[in-house]
Amino acid sequence: MRSSARLTTVLAAVLALVALTGCGVGPQTTAEPLPSNIIPAPLPVATASPTTGPPTSPPPSPTAESSPTNSALLRLWFVQEDGLAAVESSLPAGSSADLVLQALAVGPTEQQLAEGLRTVAQDPVTGLALVSIAPPTVPASTPASAGPPASGSPADDGSVVPVMLSAAFSALPPAEQVLLLGQVVLSLTGAGASFVSFQDEAGSPVAVPLPDGRLLDTPATARDYGILIIQP
């Protein structure tokens, strides 16, 4: 029994050795490191790529310093006692001359009336405006031999506002006529005009009175009626 068991153990060892030799794997007496090409390289770590599009966060809201300021308002001139006083109107800068004259005809607000302001641009009997923008006329052709206009003349400046006086203007007292003309000239020149010309309803030029009693037969400027301004 003992000899047969030993024989079986020897046969099993021989068979195991033959199997290992047939597979081509030889026994190793010492440990060897695995070749580097057998171990797979580590997977790359994904990183966020930079975006080239616009940011997704909303732009910052404008602050008080960066917000645009409100548009400037025009000043209109109304009668106060025997002179003219300027008040801030509701008209924005750049308003047309026609709107300026309409605002003068409407007159001061209730609060301004209580402060002693009034207007002469409205007929107290009919309630109609005494001044308006004259209709455009076709300028006469200038002869080729004529030289350039004199320096400082209305033709050189190019910003002459033609104003038509109604027939009721001549019925006003002389002092009221001067105050009305001053309202018109100071308000229009403050709105951007350089000169203001006057004509009647027929389109004929009108010589207008100045504060010193002289008649002005050329377009008026703010300086012509500046003496009427009441200093605050």
* pLDDT tens string 173-230: 999 999 999 999 999 999 999 999 999 999 999 999 999 999 999 999 999 999 999 9
Residue 109 lies in a domain: yes
CA distance 183 to 126: 20
Choose between 1 and 198: higher pLDDT. Answer: 198
Question: What contacts 19, CB < 8 A, 6 or more positions away?
Answer: none
Residue 166 lies in a domain: yes
Predicted pLDDT at 231: 81
Percentage with pLDDT > 90 across the chain: 56
Contact 114, 78 (CB under 8 A): no
Residue 145 lies in a domain: no
Residue 178 lies in a domain: yes
Predicted pLDDT at 11: 52
Residue 165, domain extent: 73-135+154-228
CA distance 173 to 169: 9
**Domain count within the chain:** 1
Q: Print burial letters for 6-15: b (CB count within 10 Å at least 16), e (below 16).
A: eeeeeeeeee
Residue 175 lies in a domain: yes
Contact 92, 72 (CB under 8 A): yes
Residue 68 lies in a domain: no
Tens-digit pLDDT profile for residues 97-143 = 999 999 999 999 999 999 999 999 999 889 999 999 998 765 555 44
Which has the closest alpha carbon to 162: 191, 132, 192?
A: 132
Residue 172 lies in a domain: yes
CA distance 82 to 211: 11
CA distance 205 to 165: 10
Residue 184 lies in a domain: yes
> Is the pLDDT assigned to residue 149 strictly greater than 50?
no
